[in-house]
Structure formats: C-alpha cells, structure tokens
A and B are shown apart, each in its own frame.
Chain A
Amino acid sequence: MKQDLIYFLPELIVSITVLFLFLLDCFIGKRSRRIFPVIAFIGIAAMMLANKSSSPLPSARFFSDMMVFDHVSVLFKYIFGLAGLIAIVIANGSHELEKVDKANYFTLLTALVLGMMLLANAHHFLMIYLSLEMVSLLSYILTGSLQGSRRSSEASLKYVIYGGVASGIMAYGISILYGLTGSMTLTGVAEFLRMNAVSKTALYTSVLMIMAGFGFKVASVPFHMWCPDVYEGAPTPFTAFLSVGPKAAGFAVLLRFFFGALSQTTTSGIEPIKIIGLPALLGGLSIATMTLGNLAALQQKSMKRLLAYSSIAHAGYMLLALVALNAEAVTGVIFYLSVYLLMNLGAFLVLIIVGDQLGSEDISVFQGLSKRGPFAALLSIVMTVFMFSLTGIPPMAGFIGKFYLFGSVIKSGHYTLAVIGMLNSVVSLYYYIRVVKIMYFDEPVDGRNLTTPMVSHASTVFALALLTIYLGLFWNGLANIVGQAKLF
C-alpha cells in the first residue's frame, strides 16, 4: 500500500494544506487574516507542481481499487487547480466578501478543491458517493456564508434540500446496481454486465437514479432547479467557482461512469451496453438541458441568473459527448472544460469588478460600460471577448471547444444531435450579444466613471481574455496535451 502513496501525492499536499489552515485559524488573531489566501494559493500551486511531476507515472488503480490514476485524472487536476487558484485571486479583494469570515472561506475553498480531485479519481462507488457528498456539503456551507443576507440563506436552504434528496436517490440507485451486479467498482460492474444478462427495468431504474445524483452536480435537466437560485443567492466570487469547479468534477465522474461501467471495449472501439437504450436517454437529457438553458436565459434581467442558465446550457453541450462515447468525446469534454473555465471565470470576474463599484448585479449595470472611462472601455472589450467566446464565435477559444465537441458527435454518427447543438448555439447568440450591445450602444444610467480595481483583479481579467484569444488562434498545444487523454 505504501507504493500507492505516490499516486496520491497531489491530494496529500492539498489535505495537509487544509489541515494546516484549520489549525492556523484557531491560533492566529484577527489582524493577520490576510495570510490565509496566500497559504491556500501556495498549497494549490504545490499541488499542480506535484501533478506535473507525477504525470509520467503509468495508469493504475490504487488503494485496493478505490481510486484510479490515468492521464485524464492528471488533466482534471490541472483544471481544478487552475480553477482554485483563480477563485482565490477573485475572492481576495472582493467587496461582497467583506462580511464573510475570510479564514473560513479560503479553508473551505481549498477543501472543496480536494473533494473535487477525489471525485475525479474515484473508482469505487463508495468513494464516488463520499467525495460527491464532500463537494456538495462544502458548497452548501459556502453558498450560505454571506452573513446577514436573506438571499444567501435562502439559496443555501434550497441547495441543501435539493442536494440531500438528489444524493439520497443516488444512494438508492447505487444500491440497486450493487444488488444487480454484486460489485461496487466500475470495472466490476462492466465485467458483470459483459458476462451476464440482467433485468432491463432494474438496470434502467438504477442508471436513472444514479444520473439524478450526477445530473444534480452538473445542473442538467431535470435536476437543474437549484441552479439559478443558488447562483443568484451565493456570493459572486463563490458563484464563479461553483459554475466551473464542481461542474468539471461532475463531468469527470460522469465520464468515468459511462465509459467505465456502462460500456464495453470491442474490436471496433467503445460502445455502450446494448441492454438499455443509453444513447437515447442521454441524447434526450442533453437536448432538454441545452434547450431549456438557452430559452430561459433569453429573458433574464439579472446577470447572475443569465450566467446560471448559460452554464446549464453549456452542461447540455458537454452531455452530448456522453452520447458520442468515443475517444474524441473524452478529449472534447476536457478541452471544452478548460476553455469554459477561462471564459466563465472571466465573465464572472468582469461582473464582480463592475458590480463592486456600481453596486448592483443586473444587466443594467453594463449599460454604456464603454463610455464610463478608459478602464471601463478596456473592460468592455474584455467582456466582448468572453461573450463571443461563450457563444462560440471564431476566433475565440469557445469556438474551438464547440468544434471539438460537435466533431466527436458527428464522428459517432449522431448527426441530428449535432445539428440541434448548433441551433442552440445560434439561439444563445441572442442573449450574449445583447450584453455587448448594451455595453456599446446604450447610455450609462449615471455619470460615474469606473476606477481601476485591485491589480490582481485587473491583471487576472486581462490574462484570461488574452488566453481566450490565444487559445482561439493557436489551439494545437492544448489539443495535443488533451489528445493523449485515455480513460483507464
């Protein structure tokens, strides 16, 4: 067992950081609260270095088949680490978090990164369930962390009730699958389903119930009802992280579940099990998610709710990859998650910068943003980049991401789904471009000019915009790294 520890080194580093932050919290006075984001940043950066040094290790299942290590898990740890680092930078100077206990916030954020890493590498159903619950419980706490705010408490109440029921249903589904196959690991389930025939209804029910838990995490229809309320009520720096981090972790475990447990590797590649109609189920879920996300975002007045519905729609695009179920789908999802991380965090960071100074989070805050001074003009260019990228307009990175995703769907032969996906992208153009139009063609409601925010915020938002454009023009580097990803 000791030789397995080398696979666990990144998680070990983050766990030690979390424990150290907890201990530091008791024994440090009120004045040195500023050290917490620094230590969290150093911990997560150390995790990414350990990740880089452990990437040449061969794929293996370790801790007696509880967890799995392969190239996909290395890539996901990079994604989580980057999301965590940017989230720490965003949260550090935000005005909204003045009322939140900073030490608590950064400790729980680091623990959330740990939970996401455990979720993406889990192989045993118990590990999947426990790490899913760890991510969920920490999200409930951080959603309600804004003290004295009615919206924050209400958002966390809705989140905890919805999440509790979803996780209970998922536990029941896991128990039915365990009863059918007698095995608790993903490869054990795949072995059993390959050799024996099981009852179709029972397998379908159990897959649906397990999808309730995973679908809740990635906010796909019909498990998306918590998403707009929680995104609106939570403090915006945490919403930014929530829209990227746990969603990526949910997609990691979805990939492992559908590629590992519910498909077989035949001579012609991977194909789903034939007993139940998996492509039909997943295709239906994906179409419903995309359509509802895009249609509901068309009439939103609050920017946070608009971004919430847009993240539901993006989850729908990524669910298409599960229908495709080939190697290109895996690389498509990971590529899309990495560019989605950049775009979404950038859009939220612009909203935080503008909202902190103008005091509201409606879309009206963006009215005439380009006319509010030199920094605001730069910021509106940056926001235009992010909005175009989220739609999927070249030459931004979002276009490349959607290209890979729809390409993998077309390669597997589901042409209708790809067409529906592209139509949905066209629909989403309306509400993204509306923000751009408001920024450039409307007059600002009052005459205040934007002042320059903190150096960290400004430099991060410009770096994210530059990366989005760069990845839109020269995507080969990232595509090569992601293209080697193979699920073990």
Chain B
Amino acid sequence: MNSYIPLLLLFLFGMILAGAFLALSHLLGPRRKSKDKNASYECGLEPSGNPHDRFSVKFYLVAMLFILFDVEVVFLYPWAVQFKEAIQSGMGSFFFSEMILFMVILFVGLLYVYGRKAIEWE
C-alpha cells in the first residue's frame, strides 16, 4: 500500500494544478464577449449545416463492421499464445484448422456484407 502513495499525490497534484489554472483564468481574466468567440468550433472553418442534420446510416454501418471484425482479432490473441505449445505437443494441424474454420465463417460474413453493398461509401 505504501508504494501507491506517490501515485495518489501525483494524481491530486495534477488535479489541483489544472483546476487552479481554470479557476484563476475564469476569475481574473477580462470579460469581453464577441460574436466570433461564441460560435461553434469547426477546425477553423465557418460552421456550415445544421448540427441536427439527418446523417446517413453508413456511419453506423462502418463503425459496427469495424467493431465486429476487431473482436474477431481479439479471439486471435489467446490462440496465438497457445499455438506454439500446441505445435510442440503434436496437435498443431488441428489447432490451425480450427482457427482457419473460424476465420472462414467470418469471411463468409464479410462476403455477405460486400455482396449487399454495405461497405460502399457512396
């Protein structure tokens, strides 16, 4: 427990410092409002378009497909850790074929997504 006290002190120090900067600049700075300062920030350009415009569902589709194939990769990590041991104990080809089967099933999913044109952007 004693070795965590410096960490706690660092955390508290960081919070106090950042909080002090924000509070001091809010209390001591000049108050001049102008129209430009209150506009929303869009990387330096003029804000265009309604913030509540209807956005297309393709953003959701791309994000979801990324998540799904990413968690497929998550399954690869423990398999990879055990694969070397499996080769040495003689079950290497079985391990390999199981993982290839898993990836083939997900590849069929990818083919389905491609065929239904869900990953086309325009």
Contacts and interface: CB of A to CB of B under 8 A. Distances in A.
Chains A and B touch (C-beta atoms under 8 A apart): yes
Interface of A: 1, 19, 22-23, 25-27
Contacts, number: 19
B108 A19 contact: yes
A59 B115 CA distance: 42
A68 B91 CA distance: 23
Contacts of A1: 94
Contacts of B116: 25-26
Interface of B: 94, 105, 108-109, 111-112, 114-116
B105 A19 contact: yes
Q: Which 8 A-B pairs have the closest CB atoms?
A: A26-B115, A22-B112, A19-B108, A22-B108, A26-B112, A23-B108, A26-B111, A26-B116
B114 A26 contact: yes
A22 B109 contact: yes
A23 B94 contact: no
19 contacts: A1-B94, A19-B105, A19-B108, A22-B108, A22-B109, A22-B111, A22-B112, A23-B108, A23-B111, A23-B112, A25-B112, A25-B115, A25-B116, A26-B111, A26-B112, A26-B114, A26-B115, A26-B116, A27-B115
A140 to B, nearest CB: 15
Given A26-B112, A26-B114, 7 more contacts: A19-B105, A23-B108, A23-B112, A25-B115, A25-B116, A26-B111, A26-B115
A25 B115 CA distance: 8
A25 B116 CA distance: 8
A19 to B, nearest CB: 5
A379 B109 CA distance: 43
Contacts of A25: 112, 115-116
A22 B115 CA distance: 10
Nearest to B112: A22
Contacts of A23: 108, 111-112
Nearest to A103: B116
A1 B112 CA distance: 30
Contacts of A22: 108-109, 111-112
Contacts of B109: 22
B13 to A, nearest CB: 38
Nearest to A20: B108
A23 B115 CA distance: 8
A27 B116 CA distance: 9
Contacts of B112: 22-23, 25-26
A1 B105 CA distance: 20
Contacts of B114: 26
Contacts of A26: 111-112, 114-116
A1 B109 CA distance: 26
B29 to A, nearest CB: 47
A263 B111 CA distance: 47
Most buried by A among B94, B114, B116: B116
A27 B111 CA distance: 10
Nearest to B109: A22
Contacts of A19: 105, 108
Contacts of A27: 115
Nearest to A22: B112
A23 B109 CA distance: 8
B94 to A, nearest CB: 7
Nearest to A107: B112
A216 B116 CA distance: 34
Contacts of B111: 22-23, 26
Contacts of B94: 1
A307 B83 CA distance: 52
A130 B11 CA distance: 40
A26 B115 CA distance: 4
B72 to A, nearest CB: 15
A314 to B, nearest CB: 36
